[in-house]
């Protein structure tokens, strides 16, 4: 495979065509560390967007892109969907944050419990991060056990319990079949690392051994199915569920991305029944949201109406009526036919990307779950966190920039992209052609 030859030409063209984004970024950096939230930054500087409509977004320099990033997969209906904007306008007229629920919180909860078998009840919060934090706390309180098990490479948001071994350097990560717990960032409470048992993906015997060895101290197994990023074998995920049952450790399934793959999320697709599930992203219709739900025995610990249970979860803006209105309107559009449309087009897209890579003789692949997809430059079989380590890290950024030149907006490392409902076959075919050209431009 050829080495990347033209990084400067692609970056220079990007900068030349986007002076307003540059000026905005320079201003941002004066008062916000790094200018923007971490996930937006890429070199030479990130885009500033002006507006979005349907499957398109426009940057402040006037460039229009077909949006395949969809705000970290959350914008499942694209932008300005009339069902969402009308529901929000109606809610805006009724009022915001009136100090009591306004009735639409229960409608969204009913819609979610109606779609997925496992949760008998759900509780809303403001982000996926909060959802995993509260689900873990509930599991700890329910079992009275201190530790959690999570998978190496699994991402569950930004709080101390889960920002462990998200993307550890292989120098620190220990043996593949008994990974060390490595703090992801500085500042995490030192004891947090000791409270996490790290499991390897795609390795039944290690999961069995580690969970069995720690079963007396494990409050939960937290499973990120890595939907569309590092999709896991269905039989592996079923094995994790069985191991959790056998060892009597509650299973928390993180469906913050996975709820996008179909009406009942990943759990329905592969046939598992977690004790608790965490949600976020699409259930907020483009507004900040999180939720966790599960079996009544656990969730009812949060019901202090009859007698104090010792549990409590709240938040000033949790279950905000505007968010609930947008989320409910979004779910109402997500029929089985809508999922079929997005999922079939994504499969077609990944096949097209594979054909382009073959034609160009570039090692790489596109993986997907439902309508979430990622593109990697490697010929290694991608099964666990460590198998991702051999991927070319620089080419995705250049291909991302070269795709912008051709009118397509993906995530800047080409991981965790997605389709939205308004995207049609012509947009997907356009991306397949543009991808071939963009990769060609990096050779
Ligand atoms: C699988 C998964 N879990 C949790 C989170 C955290 O959600 P939030 O960013 O809303 O805090 C994310 C965010 O991307 C995620 O992908």
For position 356, which CATH number holds?
A: 3.90.1150.10
Q: How far apart are CA 225 and CA 176, in angstroms?
A: 19
Task: With respect to residue 208, please indicate whether it lies within any of the assigned structural domains.
Answer: yes
What angle do the packed helices 204-214 and 234-246 form, to 10 degrees?
Answer: 20
Q: Do 180 and 306 fall into the same domain? A: yes
**3-state SS class at 150:** strand
The residues with which 79 forms a beta bridge, in sequence order, are 54
* Cis peptide upstream of residue 73 (ω within 30 degrees of 0): no
Which positions are catalytic?
A: 155, 254, 281
pLDDT, residue 2, reads 46
The alpha carbon dihedral of 284, 111, 341, 264 has a sign of: positive
Q: How far apart are CA 203 and CA 48, in angstroms?
A: 42
Q: How far apart are CA 197 and CA 231, in angstroms?
A: 21
CA of 216 relative to ligand 1 center, distance in Å:
28
- DSSP secondary structure letters along 32-62: STTSS-GGG--SS----EEEEEBTEEEETTS
| Structural domain for 108, as ranges | 82-333
CA of 366 relative to ligand 1 center, distance in Å:
21
Q: Do 144 and 276 fall into the same domain? A: yes
Task: With respect to residue 1, please indicate whether it lies within any of the assigned structural domains.
Answer: no
Q: Do 313 and 366 fall into the same domain? A: no
Output the domain CATH number for residue 100.
3.40.640.10
| Residue 374, H or E segment | strand 372-376
256 lines ligand 1 (CB under 6 A): yes
Tokens of residue 237, six digits: 């995920």
**Among 333, 368, 389, residue at a domain's last position:** 333
Tokens of residue 282, six digits: 């699409």
| N- to C-terminal Cα separation, the chain | 9
Q: How far apart are CA 366 and CA 355, in angstroms?
A: 10
133 lines ligand 1 (CB under 6 A): no
Q: Do 341 and 270 fall into the same domain? A: no
pLDDT, residue 1, reads 44
Candidate from 167, 260, 280 with most ligand 1 atoms within 8 A of CB, to mutate: 280
Task: With respect to residue 154, please indicate whether it lies within any of the assigned structural domains.
Answer: yes
Distances (CA, A) of 93 to 90, 164, 290: 5, 43, 24
Residue 358 neighbours by CB distance under 10 Å = 10
**Among 316, 333, 350, residue at a domain's last position:** 333
Centroid of chain to Cα 290? 12
Q: Do 264 and 381 fall into the same domain? A: no
pLDDT, residue 141, reads 98
Torsion of CA 261, 265, 270, 275, to 10 degrees: 150
Task: With respect to residue 2, please indicate whether it lies within any of the assigned structural domains.
Answer: no
128 lines ligand 1 (CB under 6 A): yes
Q: Which of 155, 158, 159, 149 is nearest to 168 (CA)?
A: 155
* Ligand 1, atom 13, residue with closest C-alpha: 157
Q: Do 69 and 86 fall into the same domain? A: no
Q: Do 132 and 227 fall into the same domain? A: yes
Q: Where are the alpha helices (DSSP H) in 233-366?
A: 234-246, 265-270, 296-299, 321-333, 336-360
Chunked into runs of 10 residues, the chain (443 residues) has average pLDDT values of 61 96 95 85 94 98 98 98 98 96 97 97 98 98 98 98 97 98 96 97 98 98 97 98 98 98 97 98 98 98 96 96 98 98 98 98 98 97 95 95 98 97 98 98 93
The residues with which 150 forms a beta bridge, in sequence order, are 198, 222
* Cis peptide upstream of residue 235 (ω within 30 degrees of 0): no
Compute φ and ψ for 59, nearest 5 degrees.
-90, 170
Task: With respect to residue 190, please indicate whether it lies within any of the assigned structural domains.
Answer: yes
Task: With respect to residue 226, please indicate whether it lies within any of the assigned structural domains.
Answer: yes
**Among 333, 353, 383, residue at a domain's last position:** 333
Our count of domains for the chain comes to 2
Counting from 1 in the atom list of ligand 1, the atom nearest the Cα of 73 is 14
- DSSP secondary structure letters along 407-431: TEE--TTS-SEE--TT--HHHHHHH
Q: Are strands 121-125 and 64-67 parallel, antiparallel or unpaired?
A: unpaired
Q: Do 281 and 164 fall into the same domain? A: yes
CA of 12 relative to ligand 1 center, distance in Å:
33
pTM (whole model) above 0.95: yes
Task: With respect to residue 339, please indicate whether it lies within any of the assigned structural domains.
Answer: yes
Q: How far apart are CA 328 and CA 420, in angstroms?
A: 17
Give residue 220's region: left, alpha or beta (phi > 0; psi -120 to 50).
Answer: beta
Q: Do 269 and 386 fall into the same domain? A: no
pLDDT, residue 3, reads 46
Q: Do 97 and 195 fall into the same domain? A: yes
Q: Do 249 and 142 fall into the same domain? A: yes
Q: How far apart are CA 135 and CA 276, in angstroms?
A: 7
Q: How far apart are CA 184 and CA 158, in angstroms?
A: 10
Task: With respect to residue 354, please indicate whether it lies within any of the assigned structural domains.
Answer: yes
Q: Do 180 and 263 fall into the same domain? A: yes
Q: Which residue has the tokens 């030409």?
A: 9
pLDDT, residue 38, reads 74
């Amino acid at each position: 495979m050829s080495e990347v030859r033209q990084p400067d030409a692609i970056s220079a063209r990007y900068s030349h065509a986007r002076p307003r984004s540059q000026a905005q970024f320079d201003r941002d950096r004066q008062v916000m560390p790094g200018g923007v939230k971490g996930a937006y930054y890429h070199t030479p500087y990130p885009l500033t967007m002006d507006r979005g409509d349907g499957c398109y977004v426009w940057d402040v320099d006037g460039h229009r892109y077909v949006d395949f990033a969809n705000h970290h997969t959350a914008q499942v209906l694209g932008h300005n969907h009339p069902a969402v904007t009308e529901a929000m306008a109606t809610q805006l007229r009724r009022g915001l944050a009136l100090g009591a629920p306004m009735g639409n919180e229960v409608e969204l909860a009913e819609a979610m419990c109606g779609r997925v078998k496992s949760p008998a009840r759900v509780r809303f919060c403001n982000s996926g991060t909060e959802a995993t934090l509260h689900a873990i706390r509930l599991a700890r309180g329910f079992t009275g056990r201190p530790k959690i098990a999570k998978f190496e490479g699994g991402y569950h948001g930004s709080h101390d319990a889960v920002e462990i071994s998200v993307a550890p350097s292989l120098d620190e990560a220990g043996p593949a079949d008994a990974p060390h717990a490595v703090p992801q960032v500085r500042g995490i409470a030192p004891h947090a690392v000791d409270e996490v048992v790290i499991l390897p993906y795609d390795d039944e015997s290690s999961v069995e051994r580690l969970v069995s060895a720690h079963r007396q101290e494990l409050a939960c197994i937290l499973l990120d199915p890595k939907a569309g990023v590092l999709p896991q074998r269905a039989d592996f995920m079923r094995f994790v569920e069985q191991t959790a049952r056998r060892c009597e450790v509650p299973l928390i399934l993180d469906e913050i991305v996975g709820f996008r793959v179909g009406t009942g999320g990943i759990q329905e697709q592969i046939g598992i029944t977690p004790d608790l599930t965490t949600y976020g992203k699409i259930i907020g219709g483009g507004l900040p949201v999180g939720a966790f739900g599960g079996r009544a025995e656990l969730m009812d610990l949060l019901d202090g109406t009859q007698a104090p249970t010792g549990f409590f979860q709240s938040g000033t803006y949790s279950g905000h009526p505007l968010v609930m209105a947008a989320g409910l309107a979004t779910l109402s559009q997500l029929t089985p036919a809508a999922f079929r449309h997005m999922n079939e087009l994504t499969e077609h897209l990944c096949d097209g990307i594979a054909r382009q890579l073959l034609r160009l003789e570039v090692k790489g692949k596109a993986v997907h779950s439902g309508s979430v997809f990622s593109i990697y430059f490697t010929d290694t079989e991608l099964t666990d966190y460590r198998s991702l380590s051999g991927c070319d890290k620089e080419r995705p950024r250049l291909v991302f920039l070269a795709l912008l030149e051709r009118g397509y907006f993906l995530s800047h490392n080409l991981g965790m992209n997605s389709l939205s409902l308004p995207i049609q076959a012509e947009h997907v075919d356009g991306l397949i052609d543009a991808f071939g050209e963009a990769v060609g431009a990096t050779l």
